[in-house]
Amino acid sequence: MKNKNLVSKIPAVIIGIMSAVLLMLVIVIVVELASGYKQKTYCSVADFVSRMAHGKYANVASDINRHYFLDLDGSEEMNNMKAVSDYYNSTLLYYAYENEPESKIYKDAVELREESSKNMGQFDYVASKIDEEVKERYLKSVGN
Amino acid sequence: MNCKFCAGEMAIEDEKCPHCGQENPYYEAHRIDMENFERKFKNTEAMVVEKTNKYTRKTLIITTISVLFALILLCIFVLNDIDEITYTMARNSNLKNADEIAKVLSTYEESGEYILFADYYDAKPVKYGRNALEEYYSVYDMCSRYRNIVEKVMDLTSVKFSESNLSTYASGINSALEGMYSVRYKEIENEVLSKRFTDEHVATMDDILDRTYHLLIAYCGLKESDIEGLKDLTSSKRTSIIEDRLVEVLGNEE
């Protein structure tokens, strides 16, 4: 009798489990749809902070914009890292156009370097390191 | 039927004859028959009802499980393509705002912020429905390749740069350069794509190439004389020159 009762409950258990799975899937789909399109490469501010802490400035600078556009939460750290990226890019151009001080690119680079160096916040120590690294490579390359 | 005593008319269910009052000899047998019949009928009826209920319950369970199974499968398929679905939704929404996106792209193009241009274009999924922004596509292509080169230069300037695979590194730079040449000097000849090559866009492309050359000279050790003929070289020759220059620069460091 007991066995018969248990057997009669099996379909209800199966339906219960399937309903739970379905509900879970529906919730995941709704959350995914609500969060909208994000690129696969999306990563968190914490990940960037960690990369900065390990001295991977170039890595962050080359990656930050695409995240910046996707994660416009206006967080201070994100804005600071965007400034690091701008500083890296403008420093590359600054030295590359050093012999053309009258060119618009050089002037823009000088301006962006100054502006971004002010906006690095907690990462302001990075500016001198980037400058050092880029300058060193530049001098070796043109001195070749 | 008729009463066998008075021949009066009577029914089989009558216990006695309504005319002479004599007992109906068939009544008892008929009553027992009817009771048996009623019991059998009720048994059969109960059996039919039970079987029907069982069948309905079974059908209901099977139908419910099947429907749930189908819905779970559907959800799995949807989840599997959720990126595609959200991408399409975002793209449709972006295409509605194509004018605004075009305005931002123009601003980046005019101010020479080519990396931002490429990143913004990537962040706004319009690439595969690009009719609305068709005219920016070749500039985007150039910006995207310029971004590759800037990223490579960043790697090179970084103290963590690994010198173990210079030929791959040189090949990466060459591949970006080759793409730029293809856009700037080959695509431009295609009349179908003429919309992408307005004077402004061509000036942007030249500026991008100029910046690329400056970066290669400043950080990869290329010389002015290398740059002059770079675009007419074969892919392997170009890669070889870039690699040689990198080796010279890195050799100087040791």
pLDDT in tens, B93-103: 777 778 888 89
In A, which residues are within 8 Å of B75 by CB distance?
Answer: 22, 25-26, 29
Least Cα distance to A53 among A120, A135, A126, A136 occurs for: A126
pLDDT in tens, B127-153: 555 566 788 889 999 999 999 999 999
Q: Tell whether A93 lies on the interface with B, counting CB pairs under 8 A.
A: yes
- The confidence score (pLDDT) of residue B124 equals 75
B88 CA: distance to closest CA in chain A (Å) = 9
B246 CA: distance to closest CA in chain A (Å) = 9
A62 CA: distance to closest CA in chain B (Å) = 6
- The confidence score (pLDDT) of residue A93 equals 95
Q: What is the mean pLDDT of chain B?
A: 88
Closest CB from A19, A37, A55 relative to B90? A37
Closest CB from A19, A29, A140 relative to B68? A19
Percent of chain B with pLDDT over 70: 94
B119 CA: distance to closest CA in chain A (Å) = 5
In A, which residues are within 8 Å of B101 by CB distance?
Answer: none
Nearest chain B residue (CA) to A135: B157
The alpha carbon of residue B92 and the mean position of all alpha carbons in its chain are separated, in whole angstroms, by 14
Nearest chain B residue (CA) to A95: B218
Pairwise CB contact (< 8 Å): B123 & A140: no
In Å, what is the CA distance from B158 to each residue of A65, A74, B15, B92? 19, 28, 117, 40
Tell me the C-alpha distance between B150 and B165, whole Å: 18
Domain locations along chain A? 1-36, 45-142
- In which residue ranges of chain A is pLDDT below 70? 1-4, 6-7, 37-43, 68-74, 144
Least Cα distance to A104 among B142, B207, B143, B107 occurs for: B207
Does this model's pTM top 0.80? Answer: no
Nearest chain B residue (CA) to A66: B119
- The confidence score (pLDDT) of residue B254 equals 47
B161 CA: distance to closest CA in chain A (Å) = 10
pLDDT in tens, B77-88: 999 988 888 877
Pairwise CB contact (< 8 Å): B75 & A143: no
B116 vs B254, higher pLDDT: B116
pLDDT in tens, A115-134: 999 999 988 888 999 999 89
B71-85, B113-127, B166-180: least confidently modelled range: B113-127
In A, which residues are within 8 Å of B86 by CB distance?
Answer: 32-33, 35-38
In B, which residues are within 8 Å of A82 by CB distance?
Answer: none
Nearest chain A residue (CA) to B118: A66
Mean predicted confidence (pLDDT) in B186-201: 86
Domain locations along chain B? 22-80, 97-253
B217 vs A40, higher pLDDT: B217
In A, which residues are within 8 Å of B219 by CB distance?
Answer: 92, 96, 134, 137-138, 141
- The confidence score (pLDDT) of residue B167 equals 86
